[in-house]
Structure 1
Amino acid sequence: MTSPHHATNSHHSPLPAAVHDVFSVWAPHARAVGLVLDSADATPIPMHRTDDGWWVSDLRREQGRDYGFVLTGDDDEVRPARPDPRSTRQPSGVHGLSRVHRVDPARWTDSSWTGRQLAGSVIYEMHVGTFSTGGTLTSAIEHLDELVTLGVDMVEVMPVNAFNGEHGWGYDGVAWFAVHEAYGGPDAFQEFVDACHARGLAVCLDVVYNHLGPSGNYLPEFGPYLSAADGPWGSGLNLDGRDSGEVRRYIIDNALRWFDEFHVDALRLDAVHALHDGSAVHLLEELAVATESLSTHLGRPLSLVAESDRNDPRTITAREAGGLGLHAQWDDDVHHAVHAAISGERQGYFSDFGSLEALRQTLTGAFVHAGTWSSFRGRVHGRPVDVGRLPGSRFVAYTLTHDQVGNRAAGDRPSMNLSPQQLLAKAAIVLCSPFTPMLFQGEEWGAATPFCYFSSHPEPELAEAVRGGRRREFAATGWDPAEVADPQDPETFHRSKLDRAEQAAEPHAGILRVYRELIALRRAEPELSDPWLGSVRVEAGTEAADDRWLIVHRGSVALAVNLGTEPCRVPLDGEALLASGAVADTDSVFCQAFGFAVLRTS
């Protein structure tokens, strides 16, 4: 990461791996800035101001040295020593001093890694703290070979940026350039990425640029990082106001650092609909340009994946065609259509889903809400997808995510409410779809452990605010407050850890076997990974319990699935390539409730 005090325009060249040599910080409104070394109580060393609001010291940054900044504001108040907004390590937590840390190029062994594109990949989402018993990046490496055997191509890691407390989801991060110490810090993340690449696994990192956490956010003391407008999680970032150029640079430099210094292959951008930017060139477009430049320089594909609830295909439309130029986006409509059709749930945002027609619409057009009425929102929502121009691989599809399970009151997985055959029917639809499939950790064996929302805020008032907020939120949607898992209870976190001993026992072993077979079949049959939505044809029965079937034609391969609670015959003839709860006869497929079969039809 170079010293950025001279780079405030909207054009970004690839950043060299070296960290800038001297201490510097952007604090345009400060009257004075002092550098403290080794101790927060040390006498501040005066820094000098440049014309663009940066303060610079002549002292060189030495690897492993602790430091912080003491700011004097317009009110002449001298604040305590604060960590560097661009800190690359926070060994004492987000309130402590920063530590100079450089990624050691000599520790990399992935010089032959050429990257992996999203199209054709199967993604696996994981949370570092609950993926392994140890809950660290190093202990997660012990289970990477399991993902290779499963058939995964890319590991998506929930946020690792530094946040207050020992454990949490990571979306309340405040030190965006640092890796959470409880996970092992930056060296452990380098080791993890390197280990993934050694096994042929790409790495996608979840990053949050739409808000900061409530504890340890000292950015407003340094400069106008935040906007005046409140978003759903507090103040958003100042992307289009006065001095927003440096704020935008702060975000883009952070994204490029993960790509360049940590060899990450993709970024999942959290809740981009909460990025409020009225600029002529949206931040996401600017980031897409910078990412493309760096990708060209590094000689490997770099991908940007958006989480957006707008159902707007312009997010993933090429810039030259009037879009923002991102490479993919999460598609909740696929999740809702599949889950509601199989589970029968219709509450909340499932209210417009569950029918065979809704499922057909998503499998052929990506969205149910595509400029149509949303009863949950009480308005028209979304925009149609041009299936002739946008491939389905730009939509990430899933049967569950951290949000879809963790934001239930008890953190209950579908495996805790549905039969094994229902779980497999959901998996078959997603893995035989034209989209980019994603699994959530433990899904592949129908894990019986919950994945709850958990936090470990040490401040009592903040802890109670989070606890009370969760209860009020679920009470408003009809949940019994007694069912809401206490996010601050350490047991809520520990109960969310995966139990791999389950894999050896039924029904988990059988579920895992079918998941592996489905992924292998997708890899073996080009028509199943064909991304073009226009080539997908769907037939359906009726909504009667014994006639509720679906056929998804993918060229000469087709998926027949029974979505009813009674056995039925699906009118499809062919050679069975894979079946679960179903038998292919001469002119039809006999399916038990939620049984499926994949057939070669010609």
Structure 2
Amino acid sequence: MRIGAHYLGDGLCEFTVWAPLQTEVSVQITSPEPRTIPLRAYEAGYWRTIESGIAPNSRYGYLINGQVFPDPASRYQPDGVHEPSAVVDLDFKWSDRDWQGIPLESMIFYELHVGTFTPEGTFAAIIPRLPELKELGINAIELMPLSQVSGDGTEGKNVAYRNWGYDGVYPYSVQNSFGTPQELQQLVNACHQHGIAVVLDVVYNHLGPEGCYHGQFGPYFTEAYRTAWGNAINMDDAHSLGVRRHFIESALYWLREFHIDALRLDAVQAIYDFGAKHFLWELADEVAALSQELQRSLYLIAESDLNDPRLIRPVEQGGYNLNAQWSDDFHHSLHSLLTGERSGYYSDFGTCADLAKAYEHTFVYDWKFSEFRQRCHGVPCDDRPMHQFVVCIQNHDQVGNQPFGQRLGQLISFERVKLGAAAMLLSPYLPLIFMGEEYGETAPFTYFISHGDPDLVQAVREGRKREFREFHVQSDPPDAAAIDTFLQCKLDWSLRDQGNHQILLNWYRQLIQLRQTHPVLRTRDRECIQAIADDDNKTVVVRRWSKSRQQTGELVFAMNFNSEPVTLALPIRGKAAKYLDSAHETWAGPGTQTPSILSPKQTLTLAPSSVVLYEQE
């Protein structure tokens, strides 16, 4: 059954809700004309009715034990998490019939938060920016979670519901401060017209603490497992079938009704399921079936800190058959080299050997002892292709985990920012760029909330302080509930045309174009990469080549993480021509000493904090 309120047209609306432990359920229309409609019980705990005289935007809730609650599968909460749900007409005139999507191995992700990406903070305001993203080379935007979050509604919609999105309560809804469901459809349609795929970040490991009425309808939570957010979602206990369907139908809803191309699954390590068929396996099966039905590629990308390739292995190899997963080890290895940071989880990283291993083997921790965790962590993933892993040098978490939300450009020099960008974009993995990273945005990205419950607000404040103690930060983080904390996070688009910001933008554009067009950089084979670390000189040299008989050349790039010049010889067998040098004056560098043509065994001198790329004949 289609869960929630499904508008059928001509005033007909189908209401379906899962409430397995109830003996009586009614839908109560609160506006425009109040009335109460009994629902009929069906098998497996579902209640349903089809009613006439229901117009789009009608407000409703479910009457259970004398109280009215919003729909757990609400499509839209125009007045916030505590108020009635709205009937939504999703009939939309799509113009993307010929859209075939972007192959996973070619994706370049651009993560953005709708509320801070533009001054307006809306879906509609993103559309005029799409040509600039396309021109940069972006072919997939990743939207941070959209589910309705709590707020008191007194400060104007654009700030009353400020939140990162991971406190969402309704996994089918669209946050009202961003726009309507129809405006999200318009955004996706416009993205496809520009050749840009859309990835949606969804949270199926917990529900927000404020405005969550799911427990009134059924056993959505279990006391068998605890997460950082409280009792776990009930994926394997009694009555879990209805809970699993609730979240699987949510995923299919976004893919089918909004033409979303891929879902990023938040923190899957917190989805506890010890049944024979894990929820993620079942979800992958359902999405694969929908992909075949729609005749277009749909992808599931997991965020996980487990370093476990089971997520992306085929079912016949004991896996869940997801399409890709994040790899934090690449980020942590690179970040610690660029910044010198060694607190918190960065204490496990800091050597060039770590980064070299991340290039070749993806996971640095592959059943290796972790000092931070005080246990062995991860397993090898060399059996999985490199295009199944997403890497970054910045994202919402890594920037937000800084004491004051500082971006990389506020932590390191301009030369090292260029070095980090090249390290990521020249890698064989799928790169993710965090909004504004490409031009060195200076606005912070700190954690912000707008909860209406003062006790919850205080709990968040105290929790943030505890988190920062792990990184040995003595001062308090910015107040997550303050409006200014949110407003300061909005991007300043004017920077793109100024000084080093424009130079950095051109650097990203050049690297992305090279990545998309050069045959060697389009290769994702594990046997076609070699990384050589020299921790004494703080250098990493990476060789990449192609197995194709038509492409016999090699690319070699050398990265100097030292604050001093370093002299070395590249592992080339024939003459090599220089492609890029971040120290060149073109890129506002200090000046290059590397030769245009390099011969075997010839040494070159790398400028401090620089990268040079050569192509060997």
TM over 0.5: yes
Equivalent residues of 2:127, 2:187 under 8 A apart: yes
Aligned to 1:86: 73
Aligned to 1:470: 464
Of 580, 583, 597 in structure 1, the residue corresponding to residue 582 of structure 2 is: 580
Change beyond 3 A, Cα 1:588–1:525:
farther
Aligned to 1:114: 100
Q: Distance in 2 between matches of 1:32 and 1:278?
A: 32
Of 231, 239, 242 in structure 2, the residue corresponding to residue 243 of structure 1 is: 239
**Pair 1:296-2:285 in alignment:** no
Change beyond 3 A, Cα 1:99–1:510:
same
Matched pairs, number:
578
Aligned to 1:212: 207
**Pair 1:514-2:510 in alignment:** no
Aligned to 2:63: 70
Is the partner of 2:132 in helix, strand or coil? helix
**Pair 1:450-2:452 in alignment:** no
Is the partner of 1:252 in helix, strand or coil? helix
Aligned to 1:310: 306
Aligned to 2:143: 157
Is the partner of 1:528 in helix, strand or coil? coil
Equivalent residues of 1:560, 1:570 under 8 A apart: no
Q: Distance in 2 between matches of 1:40 and 1:376?
A: 57
Structure 1, residues 462-502: CA drift from partner, whole Å, max 9, x if none?
112211221233235421233x1110011010111111111
Matches within 5 A, 1:137-176: 137-165=123-151, 166-176=161-171
Q: Distance in 1 between matches of 2:3 and 2:85?
A: 18
Aligned to 1:591: 606
Q: Distance in 2 between matches of 1:196 and 1:51?
A: 41
Structure 1: runs of 5 or more not aligned: 6-15, 73-77
Is the partner of 2:359 in helix, strand or coil? helix
Q: Partner letter of residue 456 of structure 1? A: S
Q: Distance in 2 between matches of 1:63 and 1:43?
A: 16
Q: Partner letter of residue 409 of structure 1? A: P
Aligned to 1:12: none
- How far did 1:584 drift? 2.9
- How far did 1:31 drift? 3.0
- How far did 1:355 drift? 0.5
Matches within 5 A, 1:130-279: 130-165=116-151, 166-228=161-223, 229-279=225-275
Equivalent residues of 2:106, 2:430 under 8 A apart: yes
Q: Distance in 1 between matches of 2:310 and 2:426?
A: 25
**Pair 1:567-2:554 in alignment:** no
- How far did 1:162 drift? 1.1
Is the partner of 1:257 in helix, strand or coil? helix
Matches within 5 A, 1:49-60: 49-60=41-52
Structure 1, residues 528-556: CA drift from partner, whole Å, max 9, x if none?
1211122111123342xxx3222110110
Matches within 5 A, 1:326-337: 326-337=322-333
Structure 1, residues 28-82: CA drift from partner, whole Å, max 9, x if none?
112322221134994533323224322223424542221111101xxxxx22x11
Structure 1, residues 248-293: CA drift from partner, whole Å, max 9, x if none?
0111100011111100000000000000001101000101111111
Equivalent residues of 1:240, 1:277 under 8 A apart: yes
> Cα RMSD between the aligned structures?
1.8
Equivalent residues of 2:32, 2:58 under 8 A apart: no
| TM-score calculated relative to the size of structure 2 | 0.91
Q: Distance in 2 between matches of 1:18 and 1:48?
A: 18
Of 97, 110, 116 in structure 1, the residue corresponding to residue 84 of structure 2 is: 97
Equivalent residues of 2:7, 2:13 under 8 A apart: no
Change beyond 3 A, Cα 1:333–1:352:
same
Q: Distance in 1 between matches of 2:512 and 2:50?
A: 56
Matches within 5 A, 1:26-65: 26-39=18-31, 42=34, 44-60=36-52, 62-65=55-58
Q: Distance in 1 between matches of 2:340 and 2:124?
A: 40
Q: Distance in 1 between matches of 2:271 and 2:297?
A: 25
Is the partner of 2:138 in helix, strand or coil? coil
Equivalent residues of 1:568, 1:592 under 8 A apart: yes
Is the partner of 1:557 in helix, strand or coil? strand
Structure 1, residues 399-452: CA drift from partner, whole Å, max 9, x if none?
011000112221111110111110111111111111111110011011111110
Q: Partner letter of residue 594 of structure 2? A: A
Aligned to 2:551: none
Is the partner of 2:366 in helix, strand or coil? coil
Structure 1, residues 483-526: CA drift from partner, whole Å, max 9, x if none?
x1110011010111111111122221111111110001111212
Q: Partner letter of residue 59 of structure 2? A: D
Equivalent residues of 1:126, 1:157 under 8 A apart: yes
Aligned to 1:407: 401
Q: Distance in 1 between matches of 2:415 and 2:38?
A: 67
Change beyond 3 A, Cα 1:58–1:188:
closer
Equivalent residues of 1:17, 1:261 under 8 A apart: no
Q: Partner letter of residue 366 of structure 1? A: T
Aligned to 2:532: 539
After superposing the two structures, state which structure 1 stretch, 300-309 or 534-543, moved more: 534-543
Q: Distance in 2 between matches of 1:427 and 1:507?
A: 14
Q: Partner letter of residue 584 of structure 1? A: T
Equivalent residues of 2:8, 2:14 under 8 A apart: no
Q: Distance in 2 between matches of 1:540 and 1:49?
A: 65
Is the partner of 1:3 in helix, strand or coil? coil
Aligned to 2:544: 554
Equivalent residues of 1:22, 1:56 under 8 A apart: yes
Equivalent residues of 1:304, 1:326 under 8 A apart: yes
Matches within 5 A, 1:345-494: 345-386=341-382, 389-482=383-476, 484-494=477-487
- How far did 1:358 drift? 0.5
| TM-score calculated relative to the size of structure 1 | 0.93
Aligned-residue identity in percent: 39
Change beyond 3 A, Cα 1:321–1:224:
same
Q: Partner letter of residue 611 of structure 2? A: F
Change beyond 3 A, Cα 1:40–1:174:
farther
Structure 1, residues 101-128: CA drift from partner, whole Å, max 9, x if none?
131232x111111111211221111110
Q: Distance in 1 between matches of 2:35 and 2:514?
A: 65
Q: Distance in 1 between matches of 2:77 and 2:7?
A: 20
Is the partner of 2:283 in helix, strand or coil? helix
Equivalent residues of 1:549, 1:570 under 8 A apart: no
Is the partner of 1:87 in helix, strand or coil? coil
Equivalent residues of 1:17, 1:260 under 8 A apart: no
Aligned to 1:8: none
Equivalent residues of 1:432, 1:529 under 8 A apart: no
Q: Distance in 1 between matches of 2:41 and 2:215?
A: 18
Change beyond 3 A, Cα 1:517–1:62:
same
Change beyond 3 A, Cα 1:476–1:330:
closer
Q: Partner letter of residue 535 of structure 1? A: C
